[in-house]
A = this chain, B = another copy of it.
């Protein structure tokens, strides 16, 4: 059988998060593989309560780990690098990244007890990494974190361009400007397919440059009468620098709060993506500085409960707190789904008398290419086909439509869809099971294992525990009921546990011998009665655990 070139997204094609894209070249079923990015996504209370992190289901890749040549990381955002440490031991392939990104990948490896030396630092295009049949070059591209890269991947079946996350910003402040000539050169010639970021396909206006914000932010901070606190993603180092410089320009001492904020600036300086940063003061020093002369730059732009912004909203953080007439600037946009947490903080600050500036386009620009910029990228690369990636289904579908309108071939390939890129028309040849896995404490659990489903059910329905002790197939004493997460009393005004115990006892006294002898049947009946009595009493059907202990007579 002849060789083929395949593309298989395992994460990121069906959500914005947990990116993981596989490319393969070789005989069908024996393709040599590379993986681009290995990120996480974040849980929410609606669907994943108590979960720590969500990752792509890499079972297929693990089963074929002997075919995996290398892992390439495009940039240091958590949804591209966050799972590298946790999952590396199951894949054991060399990791390649540019210095700043490699720095973060190495930290992830260390945190997971892996050897950071598995991460190799590479130079950008024209340097090439050879990995089996693949030749991969990192092509600098602008985004909202320093040193982001797209990839140009050469294979015996032709060239692929993979944008990674990007925007078209020729003046990003920190990091490399978008360089159209470079992209034309690096992707020059015939390109089989462009894999392209889809996040902002619904934004119809051209994107704005990071540096367009400087004047407005500087004015805003200069006009503030008391302390200024600003939040943004720590990884948006350009923004953090703009904020700090605006603070300094207004004669303020600048203090970075939140672990990620300090670490990201340090990493940027040490890897050279940041040449300089205004002087900062520690939280301890900040406490002694007059409020009108102070600016805090803090983590928690998405309302994260443990971040500095949320802690300040609840009161104090490292001895610092906000007061009437202070200003809090969200130099950020709330990611859909995070609204409740952010609004909670807005209202807490409002109660303190703090002036909040939020959801204001004058103080934030997106890191992703808007629709006209996507069209421009399509033209720059001029690939035969455009495969949308990094988006929910609706983004992928709209992006494919946009590409086809311009005459490109396109296809919507979601997680698990293996696409054959060898022939003119990309098409799905196979569907791989590609759900998601959860890091839950220190355990990995499958999304379909039922563990989280049980937690959601307890949250919605409460939990009743029924205990029965049997001796010689007769109940010994009366049943015992514990309830958790349910009203203590209901319609009859008698404690719910008492009502259930009485109903269960009535049943046991009348139950037939064959029921009492059969654990399965007895459990089923006790559960049925406990649920029905709870429904009658308080109108809810609880989760129910029945424990039958049998003593030898």
- Interface core residue of A336, A442, A480 (most chain B CB under 10 Å): A442
Chain B CB within 8 A of A75 CB: no
Residues of the B chain whose Cβ atoms lie less than 8 Å from the Cβ of A488: 449, 451
How many subunits of this chain does the assembly comprise?
Answer: 2
Considering only residues 484-514 of chain A, those with a C-beta below 8 Å from chain B are 484-491
Asked if B538 and A441 sit within 8 Å, CB to CB, the answer is yes
Asked if A443 and B549 sit within 8 Å, CB to CB, the answer is no
Asked if B549 and A480 sit within 8 Å, CB to CB, the answer is yes
Chain B CB within 8 A of A49 CB: yes
- Interface core residue of A341, A469, A484, A539 (most chain B CB under 10 Å): A484
Asked if B545 and A465 sit within 8 Å, CB to CB, the answer is yes
Asked if B459 and A547 sit within 8 Å, CB to CB, the answer is no
Asked if B458 and A340 sit within 8 Å, CB to CB, the answer is no
Asked if B538 and A440 sit within 8 Å, CB to CB, the answer is yes
CB distance from A9 to the nearest CB of B (A): 15
Known: A394-B356, A549-B480. A49 touches B459 (CB 8 A): yes
Asked if A337 and B336 sit within 8 Å, CB to CB, the answer is no
CB distance from A201 to the nearest CB of B (A): 12
Asked if B451 and A487 sit within 8 Å, CB to CB, the answer is yes
Residues of the B chain whose Cβ atoms lie less than 8 Å from the Cβ of A452: 485
Asked if B441 and A46 sit within 8 Å, CB to CB, the answer is no
Known: A45-B45, A487-B441. A340 touches B336 (CB 8 A): yes
CB distance from A394 to the nearest CB of B (A): 4
Which residue of B340, B454, B538 contacts A484 across the interface (Cβ within 8 Å)?
B454
CB distance from A357 to the nearest CB of B (A): 11
Asked if A340 and B490 sit within 8 Å, CB to CB, the answer is no
Chain B CB within 8 A of A393 CB: yes
Closest to A342 in B: B336
Asked if A462 and B467 sit within 8 Å, CB to CB, the answer is no
Considering only residues 119-162 of chain A, those with a C-beta below 8 Å from chain B are none
CB distance from A543 to the nearest CB of B (A): 7
* B-binding segment of A180-188, A251-259, A345-353: A345-353
CB distance from A228 to the nearest CB of B (A): 18
A455 to B462, CA, bound (A): 6
Known: A458-B458, A538-B440. A551 touches B469 (CB 8 A): yes
Which residue of B14, B339, B485, B545 contacts A482 across the interface (Cβ within 8 Å)?
B545
A491 to B476, CA, bound (A): 38
Known: A487-B451, A538-B442. A392 touches B340 (CB 8 A): no
Asked if A49 and B460 sit within 8 Å, CB to CB, the answer is yes
A538 to B51, CA, bound (A): 12
Asked if B351 and A393 sit within 8 Å, CB to CB, the answer is yes
Chain B CB within 8 A of A80 CB: no
Which residue of B353, B455, B465 contacts A459 across the interface (Cβ within 8 Å)?
B455
Which residue of B443, B480, B540 contacts A538 across the interface (Cβ within 8 Å)?
B443
A482 to B535, CA, bound (A): 23
Closest to A341 in B: B46
A462 to B347, CA, bound (A): 31
Closest to A535 in B: B441
A341 to B339, CA, bound (A): 13
A347 to B540, CA, bound (A): 32
Known: A50-B462, A356-B394, A458-B485. A343 touches B336 (CB 8 A): yes
Chain B CB within 8 A of A461 CB: yes
Asked if A50 and B440 sit within 8 Å, CB to CB, the answer is no
Chain B CB within 8 A of A179 CB: no
- Interface core residue of A45, A440, A441, A535 (most chain B CB under 10 Å): A441
- Give A residues with C-beta under 8 Å from B: 14, 44-47, 49-50, 336-337, 339-341, 343, 346-347, 349-351, 353, 356, 392-394, 396-397, 440-443, 445, 449, 451-452, 454-456, 458-463, 465, 467, 469, 476-477, 480, 482, 484-491, 535, 538-540, 543, 545, 547, 549, 551
Pick 22 A–B contacts, CB within 8 A, sort by A.
A45-B49, A46-B340, A46-B341, A336-B343, A339-B339, A347-B392, A356-B394, A441-B487, A441-B490, A442-B539, A443-B489, A449-B487, A451-B487, A452-B485, A458-B459, A458-B484, A458-B485, A465-B465, A467-B549, A476-B551, A477-B549, A477-B551
* CB-based closest 4 A-B pairs: A441-B539, A442-B539, A459-B459, A441-B540
With A45-B46, A454-B462, A463-B463 already in contact, 8 other A-B pairs whose C-beta atoms are closer than 8 Å: A50-B459, A350-B397, A351-B393, A441-B540, A443-B538, A445-B487, A465-B545, A480-B549
